[in-house]
Each structure stands twice: as C-alpha cells, then as structure tokens.
Amino acid sequence: MAEDDIYTKDGTVDYRGNPANKKETGTWRACPFILGNECCERLAYYGMSTNLVLYFKNRLNQHSATASKNVSNWSGTCYITPLIGAFLADSYLGRYWTIAVFSIIYAIGMTLLTLSASVPGMKPTCHGAEECHATTLDSAICFLALYLIALGTGGIKPCVSSYGADQFDDTDPVEKEHKSSFFNWFYFSINIGALIASSLLVWIQDNVGWGWGFGIPAVTMAIAVVSFFSGTRLYRNQKAGGSALTRICQVVTASIRKHRVEVPSDKSLLYEINEGESVIKGSRKLDHTNELRCLDKAAVIGESDKVGASANPWRLCTVTQVEELKSILRLLPVWATGIIFSTVYGQMSTLFVLQGQTMNTHVGNSGFKIPPASLSIFDTLSVIFWVPVYDRIIVPVARKLTGHQNGLTQLQRMGVGLFISIFSMVAAAILELIRLKMVRRHNYYELEEIPMTIFWQVPQYFVIGCAEVFYFIGQLEFFYEQAPDAMRSFCSALSLLTVAFGQYLSSLLVTIVTKISTKNGSPGWIPDNLNFGHIDYFYWLLALLSLLNLIAFLIVSMFYTYKRPLGTLR
C-alpha cells in the first residue's frame, strides 16, 4: 500500500485517503460478507422467535396471556434497542465496530438461550411432552439470554443496511446504480433467512426438541459473526461524526437564543466554515434550504459571535449543522405514513392467523394439518419472487420510461407499495365475506373449521409480500439517502420504529373497535368465535385507513425537499 493510505482502527483501508485504493475495497466484492451476516442473523432471529410463545407456554409453563405479553414486550424491545446501536455507531464507534461488538453480544445471548433449553439444571423439568415446570432460575436465565439477544440485534439492525450501502460511492454513477440494487438483495437475504426459519426450524422445535431448535440458530449466528469479520480488509468505513444529539441541541439552543434576530435573505451571509469538509467529522457540507427558516437563526453571525475554531457551538452553528436537523424534521412526515403500512403488515401475525384457524387446515385426505401461522411463508416466497423481478425487469423498463437512474424514485416506489397494500386488505375482507356467507347458509356457527381450504388466504399474503418489496425496500433506501451523512444509522433505526408503532396502532384499533362493537350485548367484530363476528369490517377499516394514508403520503411527497450535499465524503 502507498504511504498515504489511511488505516482505520479495525485495519480496513479508507480508500478516500488514496483514490487508487478505491478499486481494492467496497462495491459488490465486500457485500457478500455483509449479506451473509444479515441472512444468518435473520435466520437466527426468526428461527428463535417465531415459535417463542409456545416455548413460554409449554416449557416455562406460562399462561397464554402472560406468554403473549412477554413475547410482545421482548419484540418491542428489539425495535427500541436499535436507537442505542444507531447512536453509538453514528457518534462514536462507527458502523464496523458497532456491528462487530453487538454481533458478539448476540452470539453470547443465543448460546445462553440454547444452554437454558438443553442443559440439566438450567432447563425446565418436564414429565412427558406437555407437563413442564420451570424454576425462577430457569426463567431468569432464559430472559437474560433473550434480552442479550435484544441488545445484540439493536446494534445490528440499524447498521447493516447502511454499512452495505457505504460500500458504494455516491459520486460514481455506476456504483450509485449498484447501491440501489444492493437494497433489493439485502431484503432478499433477509427473507431467505426467514424462509428457512419459519419452515425447517419451526418443525425441528415442534418435533425434535428445543435444544436443537435454539442450538441451530446459535450456530447460525456464530456463522454470521465469522462472515462479517471475513470481509474486514475489503470494507470502506465512514468516520463517526460525534454526538448527533449534542449537535441537534446546539442548533435548537442557538436558534432560541437568537429568536429576535432577522435571517438575511442572502444565504452566503450565514455561517459556514471554509474548509472542504464540514465541521461534522466525515460528513459533506449541506446546501442551504428555505424551509424551517426559524432554525437558520442559529447560523446568523451576531456582533458578539466568534467564528472559526473559537466559535461557541451553543451560540453559533454552521449551515450544515442546521440543515442536518432540517433533514431529520423533513423525514418525519414520510416516516409517519409508514405506520399504517406496518399496521397492515402486522395483520399476518394476528387476524390472518385467527381467520385461518376457522378454515380447513387439512392437506387432502391425510391427517397432516397446516399451522395457520405457517401461511406467512407465502409472504416470504412472494418477496423472494418479486425482488429479482423488480431488480431485473421492472427497474430497466421503468428507467427507459422515466429516465431516472433507479427507474423509480424512492418516494415513487414507496407510494406504489402503499397502493398495493390496500388490495391485501381488500382480498382479506372479500375472503371473510365469502366465509361468513358459507357459515350463515349452512349454519356452521359452532364448527371449528368450516369446509373451506385455508389456501384461499394465499392471495392476501402474496399481495403483502409484493407491497413489501416496493415499500420496505424503498423506505430503507430513502432513509439512507436522505439521512445526513453522520446520522444514517439513526435514520435506519427510525424507519424500524414504524414497525413497532404499527403494532401499537393495531392493538389500539382492536381495543377501540371491540369497545364500540360490543355494546348492547353484541359479540362485536372480533369475538372468540369469529363465525359470530365481522373481521371483514376491520379489514375494510384498514383498507380505508390505507387509502387515506396513501393520499397523505402523496401530499407529503409533493412538498418534500431532497437534501443537497456539497462535495464528497472524505
């Protein structure tokens, strides 16, 4: 290597110190290690979590409501901890070290969980297949392992997609085009892991044992760690930019202090350092935008303000610092429209399963019964089908029609996903109308499974999978592209929060609907016996909310201002 190469602490080369090294690092040559890490991590996560409620109920001897609540609490934590991982990655550790450290924590948690399900003295004592007793210590070890996993996944979730995208240079047209393709294959790798987990590993847990059922995901997580470290010399790393929270507080404080100051019409009079790189380490400068001009007051140079190295950042901020906060605030309306989509997406694990339980789950004349929850495999298969179709067929065709490098802009792609998601609720509602009509015609009210095959649910799962490919992948790319350079992990964590809020909104809607629809002794829309209910009404409600959400998204998109970076990353 040349003398002017810049080595990071982990031994990787930052090619920006010597452009000749650009050919030796990053791009698709580095991505297989990152995609391998993600595929194995998702296989481990879904393989361990898909059937977790049954482990709590059957092995830890918890009541159904308690088991469900514990799974919900743990799952919610898995979508909160990414904020911790993102803060550390953006501010101090960088994405490489954050992924590395938290992957190891994750692997330790998986190992401990396996031991808690297989080692005498740590695992619950069982007499036969169903009668089990877990001591307080058994449960404590299990939950310690689970929350180590939640912490571990919090450091990986917000960083891996951004780190993969970091391997492509925005200033290189060819690499920028490949970066858009990376997000498609990143989501593809997630679903390959989920497919194996929801089929093979669930079967092993039900038929072989929990020791093997947790042990295989633990081994897979170890492979994920090895995969990530194997690509170390090929990675391109972005510098950590320091505390984003501090910078945001500085802008808010400075603008409040100068609330009486007039913002000059000439943007060149606002404060910015003269150096090529911005005051935020490893970040490009951002061009001034005219929205949220009240925040520009933080960049107005007052008579008592010192500039340059002696500037007080709590009184005077650069234009780039101000625009960094503006970028986050502009993302929030787009972010909010993702909550309804996540609510629709969440029905696969709730109402779709309940609906499937009322239908014929037998395959032909055999005694084999399909677990209703396992139909989510058709969502996974849909994603695996649509990702290559989108990347290899839709993008080239759209590119010719629109002239846009990626075929569709990220906002257009997300809008298509929101539009398609409406039809998943319409399909589910129509199926329920037909099912209830059969119940009324033949008086099947007390029948556990009516003679209507569960495979009629496949279209609604397949449509959601198609919507995912447009919305979730578009969202991943959009939040990466529009995030400030030093806050990309945070924005990825922010996009993950829509899933958590979507689940919360779904619970709130069910609570409200149940309270209103059960007045005057009515069984309501969602009773224990769905043959007396009307979950089709709930599906229609979600379809209506999705339509209104799409309209809101289109309005937000029309007024969205894209960030304008100046120069290149150093």
Nearest alpha carbon to residue 205 among 223, 195, 217, 191: 217
Taking residue 85's Cβ as centre, other Cβ atoms within 10 Å add up to 28
Taking residue 128's Cβ as centre, other Cβ atoms within 10 Å add up to 6
3-state SS class at 526: coil
Residue type, 441: R
Cα torsion 510, 335, 165, 90: sign: negative
**Centroid of chain to Cα 335:** 12
Q: Give pLDDT tens digits for 313-358.
A: 898 988 889 998 999 999 999 999 999 998 898 888 778 888 888 8
Residue with tokens 């969980």: 113
* Superfamily name with CATH number, domain 327-569: MFS general substrate transporter like domains (1.20.1250.20)
The answer to whether the beta carbons of residues 381 and 468 sit under 8 Å apart is no
Nearest alpha carbon to residue 359 among 458, 443, 456: 456
- pLDDT over 70 at 435, yes or no: yes
Secondary structure element (H or E) that encloses residue 227, with its range: helix 210-230
Residue with tokens 């692997």: 107
According to DSSP, the residues that pair with 450 across neighbouring strands are 359
Q: Give pLDDT tens digits for 388-408.
A: 999 889 989 998 888 888 888
What pLDDT was estimated at residue 531? 87
Q: How far apart are CA 119 and CA 102, in angstroms?
A: 25
What pLDDT was estimated at residue 358? 86
Residue 13: pLDDT band (50, 70, 90) is very low
Q: How far apart are CA 45 and CA 43, in angstroms?
A: 6
State the average pLDDT for the chain.
Answer: 85
State both tokens at 197: 């987990």
* Residue 241: HSE in the Cβ half-sphere, 13 Å Cα cutoff: 29
- pLDDT over 50 at 1, yes or no: no
Residue type, 56: F
DSSP state of 283: -
DSSP state of 60: S
State both tokens at 343: 């609510």
* Superfamily name with CATH number, domain 9-240: MFS general substrate transporter like domains (1.20.1250.20)
What pLDDT was estimated at residue 10? 40
φ, ψ (nearest 5 deg) of residue 361: -100, 5
- Looking at residues 27-34, what average pLDDT do you find? 89
* CATH code 1.20.1250.20 region(s) in the chain: 9-240, 327-569
State both tokens at 271: 């404060």
- pLDDT over 50 at 119, yes or no: yes
154-193: burial string, b at 16+ Cβ within 10 Å, e else: bbbbbbbbbbbbbbbbbeeeebeebbbbbbbbbbbbbbbb
What pLDDT was estimated at residue 102? 94
- pLDDT over 70 at 277, yes or no: no
The answer to whether the beta carbons of residues 297 and 255 sit under 8 Å apart is yes
Nearest alpha carbon to residue 334 among 479, 461, 485, 443: 479
Residue 129: pLDDT band (50, 70, 90) is low
Taking residue 312's Cβ as centre, other Cβ atoms within 10 Å add up to 12
Cα torsion 276, 279, 284, 288: sign: negative
- Looking at residues 181-194, what average pLDDT do you find? 87
As a dihedral over the C-alpha atoms of residue 92, residue 94, residue 95, residue 99, rounded to 10 degrees, the angle is -60
- Those residues whose C-beta lies under 8 Å from the C-beta of residue 169, and which sit 6 or more positions away, are 22, 26, 175, 176, 568
DSSP string, 391-416: IIIIHHHHHHHH--TTSS-HHHHHHH
Q: How far apart are CA 51 and CA 59, in angstroms?
A: 12
According to DSSP, the residues that pair with 125 across neighbouring strands are 133
